[in-house]
Amino acid sequence: MRRLGQWVCAGMVTIAWVAMLAPMSMAGWTDDDFAEATPTLYQLPPVDHERAPTVIGALGTYVVEAGDTLLDIARFHGLGYGEIVGANPGVDPWLPAEGELVVLPSEWVLPAVHRPGLAINIPEMRLYHFHKGPAGARELTTFPVGLGRDEWRTPTGPFKIRAKTESPTWVIPESILAERIEKDGDPRRSIPGGAPDNPLGSYRLALTMPSYALHGTNMPWGVGRQVSHGCIRLYEESIAKLFIEVPVGTPGEFLYEPVKLGMRRGLVYVEAHPDIYKLRGDPETELAALLEERGWSDLVDWALVRKALSHKSGLPVLVSRGLDREPPATTQSRSAAP
């Protein structure tokens, strides 16, 4: 069962508040359940070209069982808190009604990257790992992440993986130590690896960007939220898989793309997210420039585009001319891995 702890790299909340926020699941979800959910391995086209498919996955649905929370459902299907709540407005995250049909937002427009490695899109709170398979085919895995809260923003820019550590000790930076002393009266300067209140979880990928890392978490409900001091937290099962996939020296980049543009089977999609750090201007102007750059301006219905930009649902929205509905979703159950 879940352990209470702190959000840190990380942010801090009191134990009482966490207990109120995250009631125990009556459905009996365990760490083993989540560990058994294998992330989808996507095959990408061998060569980039202007109309190569850049939308992956498919929307699905899940029928709520007694005691489920949206957070359990999200984690099992490789989704973050913000993604599943955004796709299911009005559904109680902690007490969804038994039998309710929940949308699984497991479809994404790829970020605009052109090399192998890691891409973390900050507004989306999602990591993409572009890599080559055993036969040299282009492959992709993707994971939700938790990022820095507004006063501790996760930065943009390139990096490389400089070190990998199992059961990392958390050596607490002075700035975070002062906050911990003020809020909790906790003067400890380090927390050993494996300790229940170590917010780094079981694995850490240190970055060449000073003071930042990708790591696990002792508080999974921070994945898909802005809760940290800037580091990137993943579910324990996600970081365990990424730890194996990613060698030291792997390049990566923190992106800031609140609006993404993609194509699949000749149809144009727009995926819009809130501008969480308020770094961008008018999204319509930004999207118009992207469409012009790719030569797709005449392919879209601007009424559909403006609707997608207004809603900022985080879902890929079909905006091609002459189309007024999405492809049908597929229904899943707890026993179906993502």
> What distance in Å separates the CA atoms of residue 220 and residue 163, rounded to the nearest whole number?
23
- pLDDT class of 183 with cuts at 50, 70, 90: confident
3 assigned to some structural domain = no
290 inside domain: yes
pLDDT at 222 over 80: yes
Is the domain of 71 the same as that of 193? yes
pLDDT at 208: 96
- Of the residues 216, 231, 255, which one is the last residue of a structural domain? 255
Percent of the chain with pLDDT strictly greater than 90: 56
Is the predicted pLDDT of residue 20 greater than 80, yes or no? no
Instruction: Name the domain boundary from 255, 283, 299.
Output: 255
Q: Residue 143 — very low, low, confident or very high, per pLDDT cuts 50/70/90?
A: very high
Looking at the structure, tell me whether residues 267 and 251 fall in a common domain: no
- Residue 266 in domain: yes
Mean residue pLDDT across the chain:
83
CATH number, position 122: 2.40.440.10
CA-closest candidate to residue 83, choices 19, 146, 4:
146
For residue 10, whether the previous peptide bond is cis, meaning omega lies within 30 degrees of 0, is: yes
pLDDT in tens, 27-86: 578 888 888 888 899 998 876 666 778 999 999 999 999 999 999 999 999 999 999 999
pLDDT one-digit tens code per residue, 234-274: 999 999 999 999 999 999 999 999 999 999 999 999 999 99
Look at residue 223 and tell me if it is in a domain: yes
The kind and range of the H/E element at 104 are strand 101-104
Residues 128 and 28 grouped into a single domain: yes
pLDDT of res. 250? 97
277 and 214 both lie in a single domain: no
| pLDDT at residue 48 in the model | 65
Does residue 122 have a pLDDT over 60? yes
Per cent of the chain over pLDDT 70 is: 83
Q: Are residues 275 and 293 in the same domain?
A: yes
Out of 215, 232, 255, a domain closes at 255
Angle formed by the axes of helices 302-311 and 283-294, nearest 10°: 130
Active site residues: 215, 231
Question: Do 310 and 233 belong together in one domain?
Answer: no
Domain count, the chain: 2
Looking at the structure, tell me whether residues 216 and 310 fall in a common domain: no
Beta bridge mates, 104: 60
For 319, the domain range is: 259-325
Give the span between the Cα atoms of 204 and 239, in whole angstroms: 8
Q: Identify the residue with better confidence: 191 or 5.
A: 191
129 in a domain, yes or no? yes
CA distances (Å), origin 286, targets 63, 69, 108, 293, 315? 37, 37, 19, 11, 18
Is 171 in the same domain as 291? Answer: no
Q: Domain check: are 283 and 143 in the same one?
A: no
